[in-house]
Amino acid sequence: MTSSLRLGINIDHVATVRNARGGDHPDPLRAAKIAEEAGADGITAHLREDRRHIRDGDIDRLMSEISLPLNLEMAATDEMLEIALKHGPHAACLVPERREERTTEGGLDAAGSITRLGPIVSALNERGVRVSLFIEPAKAQLDAARTLHAPVVELHTGRFCDLWREGDEAGAEEERQRIAEMARYGASIGLEVHAGHGLGYDNVAPIAALAEVRELNIGHYLVGEAIFVGLGESIREMRRLMDAARAEAGEAA
């Protein structure tokens, strides 16, 4: 029996548009509520060091005014740990962060950062926050997640998406197979496997079809598509495509 696939909506880029002009419009909280109505299973928000999109006040409002679980994406820093411990979101996804990057570039090097990450993961676990590590689909990174006692990993799908959009079918398929293999391995060692980064209507199906992947986190594409069709409709279409791919994979199994 094929497990269901959850959809987490990243609302960061609603805040990016708001911040381009200042003020309060468009409101990320309103986007979160629309996402819930459209069938999302959770909300993701990345509070960056430079507050380029989500602000501290957004986290306050999301925690108090939405019923969906909040996944707080955060750098592994003392400042962000303090904020996460204060709010106690459902989940916290540790991601690499560089001030000069436009978006998250690649996965966290958990394997090379066990000493630094250990106290952060432990503190979040003790607070009851479900820790996720945003990592490359590589065995060493998955083993590190298990060593750190992080219950969840999110596999970086950015390379797969780049190859897909470049028309490199062979390269994209090779990367998809790597993601599939590492999803199976992660599940076999007791990790809950999520995936995300760069996914859109055209390339979500091959990832959604992977039985070991329990959740996809998608944001930028859906916010962009919302300009043309509205946020609710963009999310509903993504939900439809994910569910169709999952059902087809289940029938073929």
Burial class (CB in 10 A: 0-12, 13-18, 19+), 25: exposed
The residue type found at 11 is I
The residue type found at 20 is A
User: Tell me, what's the pLDDT at 93?
Assistant: 98
User: Tell me, what's the pLDDT at 15?
Assistant: 97
Instruction: For the chain of 253 residues, list the mean pLDDT of each consecutive stretch of 10.
Output: 84 96 95 98 95 94 96 96 97 81 72 96 98 97 98 97 96 98 98 97 98 97 98 98 94 75
Tracing tokens 């969906």 back to the chain, one arrives at 68
Q: 10 Å Cβ neighbour count for 247?
A: 14
- For the chain, give the number of residues: 253
Two tokens, residue 177: 């197979």
Q: In what helix (H) or strand (E) does residue 155 lie, and over which residues does it extend?
A: strand 152-156
Q: Annotated catalytic sites, by residue?
A: 46, 73, 197
